[in-house]
Amino acid sequence: MNKVVASIDEAVADVTDGCTVMLGGFGLSGIPENLIAALVRKEAKDLHTISNDMGVDGFGMGLMLEAGVIASHTGSYVGENKLLEQHLISGRLKVTLIPQGTLAERIRAGGAGIPAFYTPAGVGTLVAAGKECREFDGRSYLLERALTADFALIKAWRGDRMGNLVYRKTARNFNPMMAAAAKVTIAEVEELVEPGVLDPDTVMTPGIYVQRIVQGTHYERRIERRKLRPA
C-alpha cells in the first residue's frame, strides 16, 4: 500500500480545531520540523499538544506557541522556551507537567491498549494530586492513565512507501511510541525509499502504525544549547 502524500501541507490537511496532537522529539532532536511548519500555516486552533517539551522560542513547537494554535500542553520539560514559561506563569496556557518516564510510559501504554498502570514516580508530590494511590509490597504507587491522540506527527530518518520507518540515534526518542498511540500517524522522513530497500532488522516502526508518509526538506538540525569548555 502506497502511503505517500504529495506534500507536507496535504499531510496535515485534516487536522482540525480542537484535535489532540502528539509531536515526537526530545529537545530539538527528532522533531517533525516540516509538519510543525505546515500546522502553523494551516492555522488550526485550540490544539491539545502532547510532547516531551516545547523546544525553543522561534523554532519547532515554539512556532506553534507563537501562532496561538495551542490550547493546552502535556509534557515533562519547559525550561528552554521563554514564551511557554510566560504563558504558564500568567495562566494563559494550561500546561500539565508529567515526570518524563511516566510520560513515556503513558504514551507507550496508549499504543499497547493498556488503559492505566501503577508507578512510584510522583508519590508524595503535587503529581499525586487527585490520583489513586495503592500500596504493593510495602511501597506506594500512583495510578496513571494512558495517553492517546487524534494525530501523531513524527520524524524518522528513512522510510519506505509502505510506512516502515528507521530512526537515527537519539532522534528515535519519543517517535516510535507516539506512532502507535494515535488514530492517525503522519511521518516525515529525510529519505524516502522503495519497499524492500530497508533492512527489516533495522525497522523500528512497522508500516502498520503509519497512515501517511511524506518526505521533508531543509532540515536545520538545531540543538537547544551548545557550550564549549574554555581554551
Model confidence pLDDT, tens digit, residues 43-87: 899 999 999 998 888 899 999 999 999 999 999 988 788 898 888
- pLDDT number for residue 226: 67
**Structure confidence at residue 220 (pLDDT):** 80
pLDDT greater than 80 at residue 199: yes
Q: State yes or no: pLDDT of 188 exceeds 70.
A: yes
Looking at the domain assignment, is residue 180 inside a domain?
A: yes
pTM, two decimal places = 0.93
Domain hosting residue 207, numbered range? 8-116+147-215
For residue 179, what are the CA distances in angstroms to 90, 106, 185? Answer: 33, 13, 6
Per-residue model confidence as pLDDT tens digits over 113-169: 999 999 999 999 999 999 999 999 999 999 999 999 999 999 999 999 999 999 999
| pLDDT score for 228 | 73
Q: Is residue 185 part of a domain?
A: yes
- Would you say residue 137 lies in a domain? no
| pLDDT value, residue 128 | 96
Is 84 contained in some domain?
yes
- Closest to 30 measured CA to CA, from 175, 158, 214, 153: 175
The H or E element spanning position 87 is: helix 82-90
Cell numbers at residue 114, please? 493498556
Domain count, the chain: 1
In whole angstroms, give the CA distance from residue 125 to residue 102. 14
Select from 141, 139, 138 the least CA-distant residue to 128: 141
Domain-embedded: residue 192: yes
* The pLDDT of residue 31: 95
CATH of the domain at 110: 3.40.1080.10
Q: Is residue 222 part of a domain?
A: no
In a domain, 36, yes or no: yes
Domain membership flag for residue 134:
no
CB distance 81 to 56 below 8 Å: yes
